[in-house]
């Protein structure tokens, strides 16, 4: 009898990684490397299908929210980028006439970004006055720059000549204004032995700048049309205009005859649209009548004058009258009259957005404390009356904003004026 052979152990096939290890690794991937964890789960784990589907749906929810967020962020950044680019282009246009265009543009864009993000600037809306120390001494203070700008772009040429004659019909001094706008002053004096001498001072206007190009004129005219502003060029005085002696159809001349006409365009471009709205429906009358003493005038009564004279024309509008050559600052000054006298005071029209400003406007811009001037005033012309007071500071806020702010730090009245213009008229925009 043979003995039975011993039973051999059954060798199980290699099962590879255990289910526990697979589960642990899959869970770690799901927690920290999702959605890679979902891929590992489907192709490596041995979970049931319904479990995999449920976990996949739960894992996709955050991914959907992330995609929605990224899409929204991209849309927002695209919109902001477009608005930023538009604002940057507008700032570059405004800063063309600035002494430092790059610095002006950078500051303009920064202010725009701060306003969009509602970030308060270093100086709050009313802090300029609050931080001002009224240490202005009228004995040492001075105005910023003279108001009168008869030759704003080119200085005049002064020619002095002396003559001697054996006889003279008159020993009176003479002042003669010539047709070209130059001024001749003849200073006469009597000498010995019936000799008479004359010193002639000839102040010659240097209006040698080239006329604006057709492209520049077309740009200005298209801009004016978009803003409903009529542009007229003529050789008529202000008195002739307001007395009905100007017929747009007959008396108008080409705008290219006004050599400094683009200064007005540059000035208007510096102003925000909220202010330019006050110019809608009005006109700018450019004149070559160099002998006119009214070189820059705010016009509110033109329709009334023409109505009294029986002149019926939709083209005759109120606005501003400017004698060539005109500076950027003078053009802005006259717009300031329309904002102050019309918009705030309501003389010929009233802007509803300024309804609550009249009392503070009258308080701040009345010509007070004249005994302390130049303290409280940017120019001597600002002390003339409340209308010129507002218009002068309006203009200097734009063209000399830095100097205005610096002076206001030591002058409470100037601080009040600056804050009023910044917060109520220019809506926070600074220059």
pLDDT digits (tens, 9 = 90+) for 143-174: 876 444 333 444 455 556 655 555 445 556 66
Distances (CA, A) of 227 to 190, 199, 220, 230, 402: 61, 51, 11, 9, 29
Q: 3-21, pLDDT tens digit by residue?
A: 555 555 544 444 556 777 8
- Predicted pLDDT of residue 69: 84
What structural domains and CATH numbers belong to the chain? 134-147+211-425 (3.40.390), 157-204 (no CATH)
Residue 40 pLDDT > 60: yes
Q: Mind listing the pLDDT tens digit for each residue in 305-337?
A: 555 555 555 545 678 999 988 889 999 999 999
pLDDT at 126 over 50: no
Alpha helices, H only, 35-169: 36-44, 49-94, 101-116, 127-131
Q: How, if at all, do strands 174-177 and 282-287 pair?
A: unpaired
Most confident residue range from 49-53, 277-281, 298-302: 277-281
The larger pLDDT score, comparing residue 201 to residue 311, is at 201
pLDDT at 143: 84
Is the link from the previous residue into 187 a cis peptide, with omega within 30 of 0? Answer: no
Q: Each residue of 227-278: pLDDT tens digit?
A: 999 999 999 888 888 777 888 888 889 999 998 899 999 999 999 999 999 8
> Per-residue pLDDT tens for 65-79?
888 888 877 777 776
Express each pLDDT in 21-31 by its tens digit.
888 887 787 77
Task: Give the torsion sign (CA, 341, 304, 237, 285).
Answer: positive
Is there a contact between 421 and 339 (Cβ–Cβ < 8 Å)?
no
Per-residue pLDDT at 336: 94
Indicate the pLDDT class of residue 355, thresholds 50, 70 and 90: confident
């Amino acid at each position: 009898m043979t003995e039975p052979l011993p039973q051999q152990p059954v060798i199980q096939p290699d099962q590879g990684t255990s289910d526990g290890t697979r589960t642990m690794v899959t869970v770690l991937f799901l927690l920290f490397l999702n959605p890679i964890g979902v891929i590992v789960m489907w192709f490596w784990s041995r979970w049931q299908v319904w479990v995999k589907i449920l976990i996949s749906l739960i894992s996709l929810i955050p991914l959907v929210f992330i995609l929605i967020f990224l899409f929204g962020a991209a849309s927002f950044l695209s919109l902001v980028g477009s608005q930023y680019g538009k604002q940057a282009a507008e700032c570059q246009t405004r800063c063309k006439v600035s002494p430092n265009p790059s610095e002006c543009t950078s500051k303009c864009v920064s202010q725009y970004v701060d306003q969009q993000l509602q970030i308060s600037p270093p100086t709050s809306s009313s802090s300029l006055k609050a931080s001002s120390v009224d240490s202005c001494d009228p004995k040492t203070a001075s105005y910023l720059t003279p108001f009168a700008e008869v030759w704003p772009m080119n200085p005049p040429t002064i020619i002095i000549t002396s003559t001697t004659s054996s006889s003279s019909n008159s020993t009176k001094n003479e002042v003669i204004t010539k047709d070209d706008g130059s001024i001749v002053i003849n200073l006469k004096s009597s000498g010995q032995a019936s000799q008479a001498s004359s010193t002639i001072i000839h102040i010659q206007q240097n209006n040698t700048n080239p006329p604006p190009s057709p492209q520049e004129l077309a740009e200005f005219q298209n801009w004016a049309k978009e803003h409903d502003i009529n542009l007229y060029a003529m050789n008529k005085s202000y008195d002739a205009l307001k007395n009905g002696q100007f017929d747009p159809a007959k008396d108008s001349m080409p705008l290219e005859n006004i050599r400094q006409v683009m200064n007005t365009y540059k000035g208007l471009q510096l102003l925000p649209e909220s202010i330019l709205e006050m110019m809608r429906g009005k006109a700018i009358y450019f004149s070559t009548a160099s002998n006119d003493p009214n070189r820059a005038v705010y016009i509110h009564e033109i329709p009334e004058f023409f109505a009294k004279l029986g002149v019926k024309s939709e083209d005759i509008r109120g606005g501003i009258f400017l004698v060539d050559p005109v500076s950027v600052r003078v053009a802005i000054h006259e717009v300031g009259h329309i904002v102050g006298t019309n918009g705030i005071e309501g003389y010929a029209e009233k802007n509803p957005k300024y309804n609550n400003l009249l009392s503070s406007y009258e308080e701040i811009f009345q010509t007070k404390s004249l005994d302390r001037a130049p303290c409280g005033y940017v120019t001597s012309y600002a002390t003339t009356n409340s209308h010129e007071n507002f218009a002068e500071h309006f203009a200097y806020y734009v063209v000399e904003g830095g100097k205005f702010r610096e002076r206001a730090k030591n002058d409470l009245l100037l601080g009040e004026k600056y804050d009023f213009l910044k917060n109520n008229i220019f809506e926070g925009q600074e220059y």
